[in-house]
Structure 1
Amino acid sequence: MPMTSRLLPLLLATGLLVRAAPAQPDDTTASSPEDAVRATIDALFDGMRAGDSSAVRVVFHADARLHTALGPSDTSAVTRTLLDAFVEAVGQPHEEVWDERIWDVEIRVDGPLASAWVPYVFYHGTERSHCGVNALQLVQQGNDWRIVQLTDTRRQGCDVPAEVRK
């Protein structure tokens, strides 16, 4: 019997065989629930910038929904993006970095539920594409926070702070 055949059960039994897991925010080191929620939000945008679909996928709840509210408030239309399609698009090779910059993030937490209001500006590489607000709902699963709902607006001409602009 080969050596690996004899060692495999032992390694499995002792927990020494470890599979790689996607990077995810370490919410256990956050000093507050708000910090843990912010770490999840930051991990989403870091993953987008890196084009890392695994890093993006892990911050979402399995049943997450993504929507965009389009148009002026009196004629708004809402479009839905499937989570799988979004994650796949992030991981597809693209010439320009998807750089979504955020500021003035407002987070509220009540037990296992969190809400975040996140102004943003989106750049394709160095070109400003659009801006708006992300409204996120997150739920706590164990020590981790997962996005269950992300609705964004998209428009031109937002007042973006100088330190956020490229």
Structure 2
Amino acid sequence: MVITATAAVAKSQGTGNITSAEVLKVVGQVFDGMRAADSTMVRSAFAKDAELYTIFTDKEGNPVLHKGSLVNFLNAVGSPHDVVWDEPIWDTEVRIDGNLAQVWTKYAFYAGDKFSHCGVDAFHLFKTLEGWKIFHLTDTRQWQDCEVPEEIKDNHNNN
């Protein structure tokens, strides 16, 4: 069983589940687009000038904050690759105040059946006239000591 963003609605916090479901639909669109290698689908989830960051620890044990590029991310998603990129999520929390939403979720990233890394995705969304758009995304990355739920591991080991 793969845990998807829409399955996390029951754990959402903030205003009603309808709004939470709308926010999670946008986040889920990013992951669906990654699996489909569809950069257009992914792009439509983001605001025009969205910022992307990654936080990790380098080989010397130093914390690193790396600023990414939405264009580079979209190019990577849309470039041909031999395996499906899958990023199942769990322990998802949604918080909403008016036109601001935050989604905090644990994830594991798989290239095909091969585990790559895990961490947390922290999305900030703004409710525009066209609907919710991601304007900021920061993820953390760990390459070891990941506590991925067994059902997610099993899904990737049985394909």
Q: TM class, shorter-chain normalised?
A: 0.7 to 0.9
Which amino acid counterpart does residue 124 of structure 1 have in structure 2?
Answer: A
Separation (CA, whole Å) in 2 of partners of 1:51 and 1:148: 21
Long gaps (5+) in structure 1: 1-29
The structure whose Rg is larger is: 1
Q: Deviations over 1:54-104 (max 9, x none)?
A: 0000000001000001118x8321111110111011000000111111111
- % of aligned pairs identical? 44
Long gaps (5+) in structure 2: 1-15
1:10-159 to structure 2, matched below 5 A, reads: 32-71=18-57, 75-155=62-142, 156-159=144-147
CA contact 1:103–1:164 (8 Å) conserved in 2: no
SS at match of 1:96: coil
Separation (CA, whole Å) in 2 of partners of 1:60 and 1:143: 12
Equivalence for 1:13: none
**How many residues get paired?**
136
Separation (CA, whole Å) in 2 of partners of 1:157 and 1:60: 31
**Residue 47 of structure 1, CA deviation:** 0.3
TM-score normalised according to structure 1 size? 0.78
**Residue 143 of structure 1, CA deviation:** 4.8
Separation (CA, whole Å) in 2 of partners of 1:91 and 1:75: 32
SS at match of 2:151: coil
Which amino acid counterpart does residue 88 of structure 1 have in structure 2?
Answer: N
Separation (CA, whole Å) in 2 of partners of 1:32 and 1:145: 13
**Residue 32 of structure 1, CA deviation:** 1.5
**Residue 162 of structure 1, CA deviation:** 1.4
Greater relative contact order, per chain length (Cα 8 Å cut-off, separation 6+): 2
Separation (CA, whole Å) in 2 of partners of 1:153 and 1:34: 23
Separation (CA, whole Å) in 1 of partners of 2:146 and 2:49: 31
Which amino acid counterpart does residue 164 of structure 1 have in structure 2?
Answer: I
Equivalence for 1:23: none
**Residue 157 of structure 1, CA deviation:** 2.2
- Which residue among 148, 154, 161 is the counterpart of 2:149? 161
Separation (CA, whole Å) in 1 of partners of 2:72 and 2:82: 19
Which amino acid counterpart does residue 163 of structure 1 have in structure 2?
Answer: E
Which amino acid counterpart does residue 81 of structure 2 have in structure 1?
Answer: H
Q: Deviations over 1:81-137 (max 9, x none)?
A: 110111011000000111111111100000000011110000010000000000110
